Amino acid sequence: MSIKTNIEEIKKGVDKHGASLIAVSKTKPVELLLEAYNAGIRDFGENKVQELVEKEQQLPNDIRWHMIGHLQRNKVKFIVPFVYLIHGVDSFKLLKEIDKQGAKVGRKINCLLQVHIAEEDTKFGFSREEITKLLQEQDFAAMEHIVVSGLMGMATFTEDTSQIRREFKALRELYDSLSKQYAAVPNVEMKILSMGMSGDYQIALEEGSNMIRVGSSIFGARSY
């Protein structure tokens, strides 16, 4: 099937749930991204800063670029001038660095706090308690160049769909709770719940995700 056909197929479920589709384009050549762009995709997700910067320079300027990988603090400065959303904020130190670099370029940077919901140690992210503590910090309240736009989480890589569903459900409950609790905080605008990838996005949509990140189901198997 073509990239266009794949996108049309995925969009049926995405549109039904009122969600956004991020095309995960890491390792893919610019030609394939243009194919997806011509099929209507405007949101692309990359997991390496260098690749993100190079592609941003080569592709149309109405693309919304998402940094979806683990972001190192010393690389933040390269993407803050243009990045649309940073998905994997997993430490207070990283958030502080994004705020600092955002101030330098005069931009408010939209961020998602990554929550550790999987039963795997390989995944990054805050615990429920750590997020609550962070949002109550005085230092957090003083940050003027970041906006916490929501939460992101990745389920355990397993065939057990009931476990995946349970993990997504727990993240949705945390998102709902924080949305109400911090509605009046100036740098918190909880509107994005990013969960679900190629293998589990249908479950994620059913459990309330409003942003999914899909790579192989659009572009085919990953190439290195």
Average pLDDT over residues 180-189: 93
| pLDDT > 70? residue 61 | yes
- How many other C-beta atoms are found inside a 10 Å radius of the C-beta of residue 198? 16
| pLDDT > 80? residue 143 | yes
Question: How far, in Å, CA of 161 to CA of 39, rounded?
Answer: 31
Confidence band of 148 (pLDDT split at 50, 70, 90): very high
Q: Domain ranges in the chain?
A: 3-215
pLDDT of residue 220: 85
pLDDT of residue 120: 73
pLDDT of residue 223: 53
Gyration radius of the chain over CA positions:
17
The DSSP string of 138-161 is: HHHHT--SEEEEEEEE---SSS-H
pLDDT in tens, 190-223: 999 999 999 999 999 999 999 999 999 999 875 5
pLDDT of residue 1: 78
* Closest-CA residue to 147 (of 212, 95, 77, 211): 95
CATH of 3-215, one of 3.40.1190.20, 3.40.50.300, 3.30.300.180, 3.20.20.10: 3.20.20.10
Report the chain's mean pLDDT, rounded to a whole number.
94
Question: How far, in Å, CA of 139 to CA of 187, rounded?
Answer: 12
| pLDDT > 60? residue 47 | yes
For the ranges 90-99, 116-125, 198-207, the lowest mean pLDDT is seen at 116-125
